[in-house]
Every structure is written in structure tokens, then in C-alpha cells.
Amino acid sequence: MEEKISLEIVTPDRQLVKEMVDEITAPGSEGYFGVLPGHIPFLTTLKIGEVAYRRERETRYLAVSWGYAQVEPAKMVILAEIAEPAEEIDIERAQRARMRAEKRLEEKTEELDFERARAALEKALIRLQVATKKLPQ
Ligand code: ATP
């Protein structure tokens, strides 16, 4: 039997994934990284992005925003501040969030919190990207 790695993805509210998988990619603060069984241990913070994990021929996707990932040879734990599997993403809500953030960034009013607006836009764009990758029902 082929070697697998245990993947756990949790948020402060719930456990989203607990599964033996073949391969994971995640958005580290220094960029996307891939994890295969037997990876050397490391710890990183996460940015806004897409987590993908493959089991056999099936790959599943989640949108995540911030948190930590801890990698060990036989186990990876992702503690995400916010995470949604592709199947749970409300596309209209993400489109509205995208429009709001774009408007704020365009208007550039004095009260604009640039980092906050930019992060809101990035979250919305990642949600829209991940939503297109849901598994066929
Ligand atoms: P909005 O402006 O639409 O409220 P947001 O980016 O401010 O979005 P977050 O603070 O990132 O929202 O998330 C708050 C909660 O709402 C989290 O539990 C998150 O998973 C969920 N959430 C946010 N947007 C969506 C979406 N488009 N589809 C599904 N769940 C979402």
C-alpha cells in the first residue's frame, strides 16, 4: 500500500478535515508549498489562499485565511483562522464582498484602511476561485 500522510484542518469553531491523504498544498506566508508523506518537520504561518489535498485521484479545495501549519513526516495540521471547503462557499456573498472591497479601494476616501480593504478583496477572489473547484455532486 502506498504511504499516506494524516491531514487535519481545524478552525476555532470546527474540524473540517481529518483524513489520510497523498499530497497537500497550502498558502504559506512565504508562498505556496507542497507536502508529501515523509516531509521534514516545519512550522509556518498561512496567508489568504487555497489549500488543496489529494487522495488517490480526487483533489479537494478549501479557501483559508491566516493561521498556522505544522508539518511532521506522517502528519500535517492546519489551524486556520477562517476556512471554507469549496462546496460551502456562497458565491454571491463573495461577489458582493469583492465589489465592496473594489469600490473602497477605488474611492480611496480618507478613512480607507488600505490593508483591510486589500485583504477583503483577496479573500473574496480566493473564495471565487476555490468555489469553481467543487467536486461534482
Ligand atoms: P463578508 O464581507 O461577506 O461577511 P468576510 O470576508 O468579512 O465576508 P470573514 O470574516 O472572512 O467574512 O468570515 C466570517 C465567517 O463567514 C467565516 O465563518 C467564513 O467562513 C464565513 N464566510 C465568509 N464569506 C463566505 C462565503 N462567501 N461563503 C461561505 N462562507 C463565508
Could you give all domains of the chain from N- to C-terminal order, each with its CATH number? 5-86 (2.60.15.10), 89-131 (1.20.5.440)
First-residue to last-residue Cα distance in the chain: 29
**113 or 78: whose pLDDT is higher?**
78
Q: What pTM was computed for the model?
A: 0.94
Tell me the C-alpha distance between 80 and 29, whole Å.
Answer: 13
**Residue-wise pLDDT tens digits, 80-115:** 999 999 999 999 999 999 999 999 999 988 888 899
**Residue-wise pLDDT tens digits, 53-74:** 999 999 999 999 999 999 999 9
Alpha-helical regions (H) of the chain: 91-107, 114-131
Ligand 1: distance of its center to the CA of 46 in Å?
A: 17
Ligand 1: distance of its center to the CA of 24 in Å?
A: 23
Tell me the C-alpha distance between 97 and 110, whole Å.
Answer: 20
Ligand 1: distance of its center to the CA of 113 in Å?
A: 19
